[in-house]
Chain A
Amino acid sequence: MTRSVVITGVGAVSPLGVGASALIERWVAGECGIEDGAGRCRDFDPLQTLSKKEARRSDRFAQMAIAAAAEAIEQAGLAERLPGAAHRVGCVIGTGIGGLPSLEENQRKLIERGERAVSPLAVPLMMGNAAAAAVAMRHGLHGPCYGVVSACAAGAHALGDAMRMIRAGDADAVVAGGAEAAITGVASAAFAAMEATSPSGVSRPFDARRDGFVIGEGAGVLVLEERGAALARGATVLAELRGYAATCDGYHLTAPQPEGTEAARAIELALADAGLGPADVDYVNAHGTSTPLNDRSETVALKAALGERAREVPVSSTKSAIGHLLGAAGAVEAIATVEALRRRVAPPTLGWEVPEEGLDLDYVPGAAKPLPEKEGPLVALSNSFGFGGHNAVLCIAA
């Protein structure tokens, strides 16, 4: 019998504010956190959650992960259970790049002032596993702990890995998610050089005028737990992480495979993993980057995987409200999906106005709309795709 994995806590730092509530409530209300062509977390003050020493020893992506994890762990009521079963609690936090601001700062010191100016903290600040390590250290978690690196699919891969860890019996709970803070000189210039980011600075997924993604930053962390363990300690179950699958295009370093063949297969496998089919899907939280290539191939993949059902299901992109959070995107969007299902609402794809031939799904333009009531939980898919051809799909029920 497969162990059921439930979500008992969520925490987010996003361009819509600090906290999972700010993320979902402001998105549903149609508010956008993008300013001056970037989705910055302007409200985030690390010292609200971290000690001065913790903050000094964490790059911004890890600081955000620590804050998001603290929120999720508090909601889950997990703190009261530790440290008795701490060896049964894991921590997996993905990132696309890791501590890029620290890398750039120390590179500058090296060039300007020489080797002895480089900080002894440089490596622990920039390493991609720093967020997972910091969260485990703060909360005394002793189960399996590591970072996941798969570009813009990292957050979803981390949640998938965490789910499998619980199903396999290696952990009873896993604090899992993604974090990214790469709005830096090098990253912004590099994404612009490859013409991946939007010259207009507008994120409008699936709209004919879309011209690239808008870079964002933030973190999303969830507490995943084996259902029996969660119920035994009286935790409130927010949702079930019911299915997960990952595939790879094996096609191109940055471009998605145009027919979305492997993305479609990931969707089909995630549904199969959940024991569900296309008819069961009530909402799709799309990867929807606002790049010309992704939004087209994702639409093709959804049609291939869901058939006729693809035209009936609302499909919206969180990136229209916060930009592309890269390695944090999959986790922050999973949280948005959980909260959208709980509120029985499909949040809108902001800015969508002009249709493009072939991009003919219900992208929820204009304003949020209610999801149809049905017996039992509603089911959603959350897609994440990353440079390198990584496809990770989560199936969430609430």
Chain B
Amino acid sequence: MATEATKENVEKVIYDGLVELGTDRAQLSREATLEDLEVDSLDLVELAQIVEDEFGVELRGDDVKDVETVGQVIDLVVSKAG
């Protein structure tokens, strides 16, 4: 059963996922850019897998190609789930 994709739930899963991928938790915020966090294309594909497992939302490379901040990733997942 997929977790409900509320803003709070998605934020928690994305934050935990980024930490698991090697990001420092202290650097995380909605405004933090993926570039500053050194989150690259491989990280995004791994993050998409985590999101899909948790919320049943499928993110493809095209979906995230223009995403710049952590907040935009969270909003994208929430809107796709809705």
**B59 vs chain A, min Cβ distance (A):** 12
Kindly report which residue of chain A lies nearest to residue B58, judged by CB atoms.
A116
Query: Contact: A120 with B52, CB < 8 Å?
Result: no
> When the two chains form the complex, which single residue of B22, B38, B42 contacts A120, counting CB atoms closer than 8 Å?
B42
Query: Contact: A53 with B52, CB < 8 Å?
Result: no
- Tell me if B68 counts as interface (CB < 8 A to partner A): no
- Tell me if A369 counts as interface (CB < 8 A to partner B): no
Contacts of B32 in A (CB 8 A): none
Query: Contact: B49 with A119, CB < 8 Å?
Result: yes
- Tell me if B45 counts as interface (CB < 8 A to partner A): yes
- Tell me if A26 counts as interface (CB < 8 A to partner B): no
**A55 vs chain B, min Cβ distance (A):** 8
Contacts of B45 in A (CB 8 A): 120
Query: Contact: B22 with A53, CB < 8 Å?
Result: yes
Task: Give B44-82 as 1s and 0s: 1 = Cβ < 8 Å from A's Cβ atoms.
Answer: 011001001000000000000000000000000000000
Query: Contact: B46 with A116, CB < 8 Å?
Result: no
Task: Give A115-131 as 1s and 0s: 1 = Cβ < 8 Å from B's Cβ atoms.
Answer: 01101110010000000
Task: Give B1-34 as 1s and 0s: 1 = Cβ < 8 Å from A's Cβ atoms.
Answer: 0000000000000000000011000000000000
Query: Contact: B22 with A116, CB < 8 Å?
Result: no
Contacts of B52 in A (CB 8 A): 116
Contacts of A121 in B (CB 8 A): 42, 46
Contacts of A119 in B (CB 8 A): 46, 49
Query: Contact: A51 with B49, CB < 8 Å?
Result: no
Give A102-144 interface residues, CB cut-off 8 Å to B.
116-117, 119-121, 124
How far is A116 from B57 in the complex, measured between Cα atoms in Å?
12
**B51 vs chain A, min Cβ distance (A):** 12
Kindly report which residue of chain B lies nearest to residue A55, judged by CB atoms.
B22
- Tell me if A81 counts as interface (CB < 8 A to partner B): no
- Tell me if A374 counts as interface (CB < 8 A to partner B): no
How far is A116 from B60 in the complex, measured between Cα atoms in Å?
12
- Tell me if A57 counts as interface (CB < 8 A to partner B): yes
Contacts of B46 in A (CB 8 A): 119-121
How far is A242 from B22 in the complex, measured between Cα atoms in Å?
43
- Tell me if A252 counts as interface (CB < 8 A to partner B): no
Kindly report which residue of chain B lies nearest to residue A120, judged by CB atoms.
B45
Give A34-79 interface residues, CB cut-off 8 Å to B.
51-53, 56-57
Query: Contact: A56 with B49, CB < 8 Å?
Result: no
Contacts of B49 in A (CB 8 A): 116-117, 119-120
Contacts of A124 in B (CB 8 A): 42
How far is A121 from B40 in the complex, measured between Cα atoms in Å?
12
How far is A377 from B18 in the complex, measured between Cα atoms in Å?
54
Kindly report which residue of chain A lies nearest to residue B19, judged by CB atoms.
A52
How far is A116 from B56 in the complex, measured between Cα atoms in Å?
12
Contacts of A57 in B (CB 8 A): 42
How far is A57 from B45 in the complex, measured between Cα atoms in Å?
13
How far is A52 from B22 in the complex, measured between Cα atoms in Å?
5
Kindly report which residue of chain B lies nearest to residue A118, judged by CB atoms.
B49
Kindly report which residue of chain A lies nearest to residue B44, judged by CB atoms.
A120
Kindly report which residue of chain A lies nearest to residue B22, judged by CB atoms.
A53
Contacts of B22 in A (CB 8 A): 51-53, 56
**B50 vs chain A, min Cβ distance (A):** 11
How far is A121 from B20 in the complex, measured between Cα atoms in Å?
14
How far is A53 from B43 in the complex, measured between Cα atoms in Å?
9
With contacts A51-B22, A116-B52, A119-B49 known, what are 15 further pairs, Cβ within 8 A? A52-B22, A53-B21, A53-B22, A53-B38, A56-B21, A56-B22, A57-B42, A117-B49, A119-B46, A120-B42, A120-B45, A120-B49, A121-B42, A121-B46, A124-B42
Binding site for B on A (CB under 8 A): 51-53, 56-57, 116-117, 119-121, 124
A-B contact pairs, 17 of them (CB 8 A): A52-B22, A53-B21, A53-B38, A56-B21, A57-B42, A116-B49, A116-B52, A117-B49, A119-B46, A119-B49, A120-B42, A120-B45, A120-B46, A120-B49, A121-B42, A121-B46, A124-B42
Name the 5 nearest CB pairs between A and B, nearest first: A53-B22, A52-B22, A120-B45, A56-B22, A120-B46
